[in-house]
Amino acid sequence: MRTFALFRREIQVGPRSPMLLWALLVPVLLTVLVRGVFGSLFQPQPRLAVVDEGNSVLVAQLEQLDGIDVTVLTSTDELMRKVEANDFDAGLVLQPGFDAAVQSGAQPTLQLFISGESLASNRIIVEIATLDLVRGIAGDQPPVDVLVVPLGDEGYDLVTRLLPMLMIYAVVIGGAFIPAMSLVQERENQTIDAVLATPATMDEMLTAKGLFGFVLAILTGVFTLFLNSAWGLHPWAMLVSLAVAGVMMAEIGLILGSVAKDSTMLFTLLKSAGLLIVFPVIFPIFPGLPQWIAWLGPTYYFLDPIFKIAIEGAGLANVWLPLTIGAVISVALVPVVHVLGRRLAARLAVTN
């Protein structure tokens, strides 16, 4: 019961800290940065805007094409403005009677606007696809039959491969940094002495702070996944993965908070431990690297399941092994937290 009373205290005191606001803002800022910058630099497919002034069948045929993102607009001025701003790689304006003119051999003008900032490859794709469909309206057979043969394993665009990076920052700040900083601030403000003067023990206090970090890690993780539309098809499998992440990060936070004597030392420890915590996210970003190296990082055992559930549609049956290893690591950290907590209590008793 004392643990839950201390947990309620964390809930009451936690929202007053600017660190909590930071924990919620970081996933939003990183998502905006990744999708705003990398999403436009590494656009996965050409973007084509179309204005149809004559009910052409070409629009429906373009919308059925794989590999081209087609958007129908109502105004030529809007199309030109958005193509100029690089919101689209190209813009196509179909004049009234375009289909009939093509079928009669009149060779009508095809207005195709190209963004000056678009990739050359995207321009070629749009131009070839449009001319091929126009040839079909005229009743001509295409001069060649294009056979597309994919070589190598299918990969993901950069924005997708950055999802583990977004997730690790979300759960580290919410699950590890907040409890660690809370524990250090309690020592700096000497409020920990008042808490331990009650019947509450150090283990109960650490459990309460760890529980608060666990809840924050899950909340910030869910928030980040929804921001990136990456919840996946199996919500229970995702929640289990987030639970493993929350427990592991809360324990790491308590370890760092117990060892650090002040805020300066805590930031130093976070920088040192950050490499071990964060380095598994490098391997989805650079799939050419030996992927087995990521297995050496404890966070791999919840990051990999989260990625597979969110992006590949995996279920719990597909990711149970790494999650089990992650759970074993979390169980192994429990005695470490307990020992460090007893040492911290002993140091406080000597100081007082």
Question: Beta-carbon neighbour count of residue 330 at 10 Å?
Answer: 22
Does 251 lie in the same domain as 289? Answer: yes
For the chain, what percent of residues have pLDDT higher than 70?
A: 83
- Rounded mean pLDDT of the chain? 81
Does 133 lie in the same domain as 264? Answer: no
Does 165 lie in the same domain as 310? Answer: yes
Q: Give the Cα separation of 117 and 310 in Å (integer).
A: 32
* Inside any domain, residue 221: yes
242-300 pLDDT per residue, tens: 999 999 999 999 999 999 888 888 888 888 887 888 889 988 888 778 989 999 999 99
* Inside any domain, residue 143: no
3-61 pLDDT per residue, tens: 887 778 877 776 666 766 776 777 777 777 776 655 544 445 788 888 888 788 878 88
CA 9, chain centre distance (Å) = 31
> Quick one: pLDDT at residue 317?
93
Contact between 66 and 129 under an 8 Å Cβ cutoff? The reply is no
Structural domain total, the chain: 2
Residue linked to tokens 């289990």: 240
> Quick one: pLDDT at residue 208?
92
Q: Give the Cα separation of 40 and 24 in Å (integer).
A: 25
Does 170 lie in the same domain as 287? Answer: yes
Structural domain boundaries enclosing 62 = 44-137
* Inside any domain, residue 148: no
- pLDDT exceeds cutoff 90 at 305: yes
Does 120 lie in the same domain as 253? Answer: no
Does 316 lie in the same domain as 187? Answer: yes
The pair of three-digit structure tokens given for residue 256, joined into one six-digit string:
């760092």
Q: What is the pLDDT confidence band of residue 146, given thresholds at 50, 70 and 90?
A: very low
Q: What is the pLDDT confidence band of residue 156, given thresholds at 50, 70 and 90?
A: low
Does 242 lie in the same domain as 178? Answer: yes
Does 13 lie in the same domain as 130? Answer: no
